[in-house]
Amino acid sequence: MSESMEDVVTEVQDAICDAVSALDGRAFVEQRWERPGGGGGRSRLLEGGDVIEKGGVNVSIVEGDLPAEAAASMRSRVENLPENPVFHAVGISLVLHPRNPWVPAVHANFRRFAIQGGPWWYGGGADLTPNALDVADAIHFHGVWQAVCRRHAGVADHAAFKAWCDRYFFIGHRGEARGIGGIFFDDVRAETESAPLAFVTDCAGSFLDSWLPLAERHHREPVSDADRAWQLHRRSRYAEFNLVYDRGTTFGLRTGARVASVLMSLPPLCTWTGDDPTPPGDAQRALVDVLRKPVDWV
Amino acid sequence: MSESMEDVVTEVQDAICDAVSALDGRAFVEQRWERPGGGGGRSRLLEGGDVIEKGGVNVSIVEGDLPAEAAASMRSRVENLPENPVFHAVGISLVLHPRNPWVPAVHANFRRFAIQGGPWWYGGGADLTPNALDVADAIHFHGVWQAVCRRHAGVADHAAFKAWCDRYFFIGHRGEARGIGGIFFDDVRAETESAPLAFVTDCAGSFLDSWLPLAERHHREPVSDADRAWQLHRRSRYAEFNLVYDRGTTFGLRTGARVASVLMSLPPLCTWTGDDPTPPGDAQRALVDVLRKPVDWV
């Protein structure tokens, strides 16, 4: 069954990179890597494009002994974990940092995790990080993910996954969310793998629907120096979240994962100012309000 | 006795800000703040200067109930900690991010920490983060701190404090140090406070000797686009260290300290590239070697 998830992530990586490259005009550069403990990955990176300032779309298929630290934290939420667990993980992870501040940054991740001779589960999510509030964009993005969840009601609960996303991507010390959310889920199980796999396959296949129309709509919009400065400020919050809170990042750095892949999510250019800058316009001001108090968009 | 440390940090803040402003031509902007639980601080920030792209010199004098998390971690290394400890902390903390890549960034921090009716101790340090190796700079900087330690041999051990600095400012996931070190010390105690206070007073008063000559020497040196790009790359490593490893930062963010003060150390502008960029010249290449394998400069 895990070979099916391998097919999904491999095909979706091609489809996403092809579509993003077609929009940008620039190709992704591929790097293949092997994990010393078993498995490896295929990372694709696009830097310095006209539309994408930096974007990574990474597939990894890794296996091996579960690090003791990971096993300990897993034991509290997973039943029937063997004594010395061997894991198998298949996932696709992507982050796109657009150049134009009016195009939202986006992150998505879909994965299958299994313990040899033990339990398996699916996880993932997709969330949007605009620099300014565009209500139509927010409704479109959340609408796509609501529709996906509704098509898989046996395993997916949109309201719960949306709320989970708002909780997860919260920058505690700033009192605000990283972005305007989407969906986030983990530990998705069922009697057999067919329903969870169908859900995650639909998710991965829906990513382009959720984000590409926003990029096409905004990537040629005029940008003032103040809009750009605000974008670089917002990106510093993105870096703060990923380095301080993100489980995948902090776990990856502690357990010796491939650093370039773990940190590909970090922004191409960002600014930390001493005091919070003033939002340069109404749309940016409206964003800050929404980050402090999440909205149910659909 | 703690009023003496208050005098030290207040006077040194003035002296450092005056000297840095004189070099830059721009004044620091002061903000005073109060801590809800007791005490407060005086933060000074210089942004967008000709010499200093972003610099903060902050004094804080805070007191109150020690947060439970802090008390728990302190109990393992401090004897005679009372049941519900009340703390009193006085410190100066500074970070200067110069604009010219040939001027090293610098950080210093000196503090007295005391538990009401219990133990007290001094801590601090100063360390240099150049973007390129200049051997004369390294020898000068380390030489100043060695001389300070030698003047206070009863409480200060330069070799130990230098090694502590190299261990502390290490970015584990990158396998390299944040910079080329300096000194780092904590838990400095004695029969009475006079010797530790004299040492930390001498440290605080020696900061300008350690760094200002380097800034004066380099701040007008010609800068290529590649030198600047390399500086922005190095600054992203600085941000990684501070957000992932620095005790003061991670502790401050968890315990609700004033965020603007805790994060004033973060760089004004930085770049995360997908792959490690190639050092643009010999001096930058030599730096990377030294970051991977610390050198005893004096």
pLDDT per position as a tens digit, A252-298: 787 667 888 889 999 999 999 998 899 999 999 999 999 999 999 99
Question: Cβ–Cβ contacts within 10 Å for residue A159, how many?
Answer: 11
pLDDT at position A74 over 90: no
Whether B268 sits inside 8 A of A263 (CB atoms) is no
Residue B212 identity (one-letter amino acid):
L
Whether B266 sits inside 8 A of A243 (CB atoms) is no
Per the model's pLDDT, the better-predicted residue between B117 and B106 turns out to be B106
What domains sit in chain B, N to C, each tagged with a CATH number?
2-292 (3.40.1500.10)
Q: Which residues of B touch A274 (CB under 8 A)?
A: 45, 47, 54, 56, 260, 264
Whose tokens are 């600095």? That residue is B165
CA A187/CA A135 separation, integer angstroms: 31
Cβ atoms of residues B53 and B31 within 8 Å:
no
CA-nearest residue to A232 within chain B is B269
Q: What is the DSSP letter of A122?
A: E
Cα A218 to the chain's mean position, in Å? 21
pLDDT at position B2 over 80: no
pLDDT score, position B71: 84
Q: What is the mean pLDDT of residues B244-254?
A: 85
pLDDT score, position B72: 83
pLDDT score, position A255: 67
Q: What angle do CA A211, A222, A234 make, to 5 degrees?
A: 60
Structure ipTM over 0.90, yes or no: yes
Here the tokens at position B230 are 């390399």
In this complex, the residue of B232, B270, B274 whose CB is nearest that of residue A54 is B274
Q: What is the mean pLDDT of residues A165-192?
A: 96
In this complex, the residue of B31, B250, B263 whose CB is nearest that of residue A272 is B263
Per the model's pLDDT, the better-predicted residue between B50 and A83 turns out to be B50
CA A190/CA A197 separation, integer angstroms: 10
Q: What is the mean pLDDT of residues B269-281?
A: 95
Q: What is the mean pLDDT of residues A206-235?
A: 98
CA B106/CA B179 separation, integer angstroms: 9
Cβ atoms of residues A158 and A202 within 8 Å:
no
Phi-psi region of B244 (alpha: psi -120 to 50; beta: other; left: phi over 0): alpha
CA A119/CA A130 separation, integer angstroms: 37
CA-nearest residue to A267 within chain B is B272
pLDDT at position B256 over 80: no
Among A59-73, A110-124, B14-28, B94-108, which is the least confidently predicted range? A59-73
In tens, the pLDDT along A84-93 reads: 899 999 999 9
pLDDT score, position A1: 45
Residue A35 — pLDDT band, cuts 50, 70, 90? confident
Chain B residues within 8 Å of chain A (Cβ atoms)? 31, 45, 47, 54, 56, 172-174, 232, 236, 239-240, 243-244, 250, 253, 256, 259-260, 262-264, 266-276
Here the tokens at position B53 are 């792209």
Q: What is the mean pLDDT of residues B169-178?
A: 96
* Active site (annotated) includes residue A107: yes
In this complex, the residue of B174, B243, B260 whose CB is nearest that of residue A243 is B243
